[in-house]
Chain A
Amino acid sequence: MHNPPPSPPPRRVPTSAITAFIQRDAINELLRPWLPADDERALVVRCLVDTGPAHHCGANYVLLRLLGLVLERVGGPPASGAADDSSVAIPLRLPPPFADARQEVHFPLTLPTRAVAQLAPRNSRHFAAMVDCLTDGPPQHALANAAILRLIESVLMQLGLNLQETP
């Protein structure tokens, strides 16, 4: 006779502990180079660390802070980092009848694609699929992807990678 498998240990971390470590101001400052307008930045910070399941908020915070530390170590955001003609707009998550092409129904933070283009040619299906994966999903996912890619691009640029060229 087999013993039943042991049940998993109960979760010990209360939700309040997850949200307690989030320092919104730190994320706010991290995004300032790409979102200089206070109101726009506040909207993105709210989506990143105030909406959706608590573990997403916590994970977004940890990953962004760590990437921020990496970027700081390599010299901070490059002066030319914000200029990016190839970024992709991320639409607000509205009911389909209300979604349209107006700029104001898109989040102020766009998805940069220069790093993604290092993985697949811009006109390829792979590239299109990658961008689709990165911009899809709830705001806390898509905007975290965009913020993370902003930081990754900046790090790559500071490390000397020419993002204007594709491999």
Chain B
Amino acid sequence: MSELPRGLEQAFLVAASELGFCSAAWLFVQELAAAGGAPLVEQLRDELGRSFPVLDAVAAQWLDGLSWSAIDVAPIVAACAGAKTLLVVGLEARYLDALLPALPTLQIRLLRYSSMGDVDWERILANYDARVRATDLGSFQQWAGTRTVVLTFLYGANDHAAHASPAWLRLMGEDVRAQFRSFVGWNILSRPMYVYPRWLVEVPRSDFTVLV
């Protein structure tokens, strides 16, 4: 394959809404790399990078020789020690898939909120066979407490700020800061984004009690 398949943007949008930007990006980059190598990944970056900055960053990462590697969940597991519930804000399927087996006793709640339009949450949750259950902005405080950890995925972080899903801003209010044990930011992008981080929001690093 020497050219990008047609409809790739729409396909990526659907995949990102059900897998998460980073998880979908790795999937697409790996598939295109297998089909057409670096030229095709460069073409992907050139054509879709500005629309999807996480895809752009992942493609750049792959072009720099950093391929997909095993996910280290140990720091997240450590941050959840003693907890009973993990409230996940934002979706990144590949990272959740790696994390869940390492937290067999925790009940997992996923905030059912997306800024990507109509998302089929039933289909997303079906992937987890009842291991992950949904909560929403009207009811997530049902899971508040000193044994609940709130986790979100970050797309790059520096000393002052991090990029997160807009869902984080919907959830993280001044009241919520005093209702949960800890707030974990899991940075899943190993290099900063090169283009304007549309779809994401910049949040203060101080939102997080633990940043991995």
When the two chains form their complex, are residues A102 and B145 in contact, meaning their CB atoms are under 8 A apart? Answer: yes
> Taking the complex as formed, is A1 at the interface, i.e. its CB lies under 8 A from any CB of chain B?
no
The answer to whether B84 has its CB under 8 Å from any CB of chain A is yes
Cβ contact within 8 Å between A105 and B182: no
Contact call A104/B148, Cβ cutoff below 8 A: yes
User: Contacts of B174 on A, CB cut-off 8 Å?
Assistant: 51-52
Give the total number of A-B pairs whose CB atoms are below 8 A apart.
56
* Chain A: number of interface residues, binned into ranges: 20 to 34
B40: Cβ under 8 A from any A Cβ? no
Interface string of B156-194 (1 = CB under 8 A from A): 000000000000000000110111111000000000000
Task: Say whether A43 faces chain B, with CB atoms less than 8 Å apart.
Answer: yes
Instruction: Classify the secondary structure of B's interface with A.
Output: mixed
- Chain B contact-residue range equals 20 to 34
Give 20 A-B contacts (CB < 8 Å), ordered by A residue.
Answer: A40-B181, A42-B209, A43-B146, A43-B180, A43-B182, A46-B177, A47-B178, A50-B206, A51-B177, A92-B146, A92-B178, A93-B175, A93-B178, A94-B141, A94-B179, A98-B144, A106-B146, A107-B146, A138-B178, A139-B178
- Give B residues with C-beta under 8 Å from A: 82, 84, 139, 141-142, 144-148, 174-175, 177-182, 206, 209
Residues of A within 8 A of B (CB): 37, 39-40, 42-43, 46-47, 50-52, 92-95, 97-98, 102-108, 138-139
